[in-house]
Amino acid sequence: MTPSVTRWPVAVLGATGAVGQAFIRLLDAHPWFDLVEVAASERSAGKSYRDAAKWLEGTMPAGVASLVVKHCTPEEISAPIVFSALDSGVAGEVEPAFARAGRMVLSNAKNYRMDADVPLVIPEVNGDHLALLDVQRANRGWTGGIVTNANCATTVMAAALAPLHEAFTVTKVFATTMQAVSGAGYPGVPSLDILGNVIPFINDEEPKIETELVKLLGRFDGTTVQYADIVTSAHANRVPVEHGHTVCMSVAFARKPTPEEALEALRNWTGTDAVRGLPSAPEPSLIIRDEPDRPQPRRDVNRGRGMATTVGRVRADHLFDLRLVAMSHNVVRGAAGGSILNAELLAKTGQLARYLAP
């Protein structure tokens, strides 16, 4: 299949929020996907998108401004591909309703990420896990499906650790995150709580990091994902940065690499072949910086149009084997852009056409 000849109508659920708006920006003039519908809560439904959304960055694409915001139901939404930026409080019921109704749901919510038959995918890292959709369809009898992307801090970690795990087998990770305020959505963290401050707690974040990482770096055996044998300890912090989650990691390996060997593995890594050339795929997806003071969100967050992960400070560690710092854009790479890349990979490999055939 040549994906570029098929244009797919798509909808965004939760279109008024921080991630929903990123979807709208990234889908504007997308070569394969046409944004035809937007949906949000009862508060927004029935209004024009222009009136319902408090637009956060740049100019609202003209095509979406006049769309009428719909309710998040498969009866109101007709698009076969549904990007979900829904709050987890509602995603649990809404997303399976769409999958049952034959739609392909690309979800950012936490609800189904760890279900055994739901792909949790960063395309370059574990694009092959998308084949779990066959298991999901057999198990649940859905004519559509749900594909998830990971928590935004876990996405940073998995992107940086995947090449090292492949080459040297990661066994332990001690991670401290510094997470941007946009990770809390809009309006998010009150300004008096975060300006000039660090908050050493993000609800439910540490368990998500500790569980999702082993699924992302796990091996799909054709039926299930065999989780990677990695123990992770995470400290999650909210910091006064607009966009970009930074993660400092100390890592232990089954085969201890020197920093030079680790850098070589990171530099040579290309990830899942099929991802290369996709419209949203950054080239390269990993950027390795040698300067002692990088990565930095202010300087590196928009690399690869917000889809690249920047890694630096790769050095020996006194506690484990190696230390490093990784950073990527939480709303783009860690959410909307990651979902769109998942959909592009499904399109390229013919899975969209196969699942959504009438």
Which residues are identified as catalytic? 152, 245
DSSP type of residue 256: P
- Looking at residues 305 to 324 of the shown chain, list those that interact with ligand NAP (rule: CB under 6 A): none
Q: How far is CA 305 from CA 269, 285, 338, 341, in A?
A: 20, 11, 12, 13
Residue span binding ligand NAP (CB under 6 A) among the ranges 87-95, 113-121, 199-207, 256-264: 87-95
Q: Toward ligand NAP, which CB reaches closer, 22 or 228?
A: 22
Contact with ligand NAP (CB under 6 A) among 8, 10, 11, 19: 19
Distance of CA 97 to the CA centre of its chain: 22
Q: State the virtual CA torsion across 14, 16, 17, 20 in degrees, nearest 10.
A: 60
> Who's near 179: CB < 8 A, 6+ residues apart?
152, 153, 202, 205, 236, 237, 238, 239, 241, 245, 246, 330
- Looking at residues 129 to 158 of the shown chain, list those that interact with ligand NAP (rule: CB under 6 A): 152
* Residue 96 in contact with ligand NAP, rule: CB under 6 A: no
Residue span binding ligand NAP (CB under 6 A) among the ranges 37-45, 125-133, 158-166, 215-223: 37-45
- Looking at residues 220 to 279 of the shown chain, list those that interact with ligand NAP (rule: CB under 6 A): none
Contact with ligand NAP (CB under 6 A) among 18, 263, 287, 341: 18
Q: Measured between alpha carbons, how far is 52 from 65 in angstroms, rounded to an integer?
A: 9
DSSP type of residue 223: S
* Residue 339 in contact with ligand NAP, rule: CB under 6 A: no
Residue span binding ligand NAP (CB under 6 A) among the ranges 35-43, 57-65, 118-126, 320-328: 35-43
* Residue 90 in contact with ligand NAP, rule: CB under 6 A: yes
The tokens for 148 are 């998830």
Contact with ligand NAP (CB under 6 A) among 3, 17, 163, 304: 17
Q: Toward ligand NAP, which CB reaches closer, 131 or 199?
A: 199
- Looking at residues 55 to 84 of the shown chain, list those that interact with ligand NAP (rule: CB under 6 A): 72
Q: Toward ligand NAP, which CB reaches closer, 265 or 335?
A: 335
Beta strands across the sheet bearing 104-107: 70-71, 33-40, 8-13, 81-84, 104-107, 145-148
* Residue 105 in contact with ligand NAP, rule: CB under 6 A: no
Contact with ligand NAP (CB under 6 A) among 8, 11, 24, 44: 44
* Residue 197 in contact with ligand NAP, rule: CB under 6 A: no
Give the CA angle between residues 275, 132, 231 to the nearest 5°: 85
Helix (H, G, I), strand (E, B) or coil at 177: strand
Contact with ligand NAP (CB under 6 A) among 331, 340, 341, 346: 331
* Residue 351 in contact with ligand NAP, rule: CB under 6 A: no
Q: Measured between alpha carbons, how far is 265 from 218 in angstroms, rounded to an integer?
A: 19
Q: Measured between alpha carbons, how far is 334 from 331 in angstroms, rounded to an integer?
A: 5
User: DSSP E strands: which ranges in the chain?
Assistant: 8-13, 33-40, 70-71, 81-84, 104-107, 145-148, 170-179, 219-220, 225-226, 231-238, 245-253, 286-288, 309-316, 322-328
Preceding omega of 163 cis (within 30 degrees of 0) = no
Contact with ligand NAP (CB under 6 A) among 11, 24, 67, 86: 86
* Residue 298 in contact with ligand NAP, rule: CB under 6 A: no
* Residue 330 in contact with ligand NAP, rule: CB under 6 A: yes
Binding site for ligand NAP (CB under 6 A): 14-20, 40-41, 43-44, 72, 85-88, 90-91, 108-109, 152, 182-183, 185-186, 330-331, 334-335
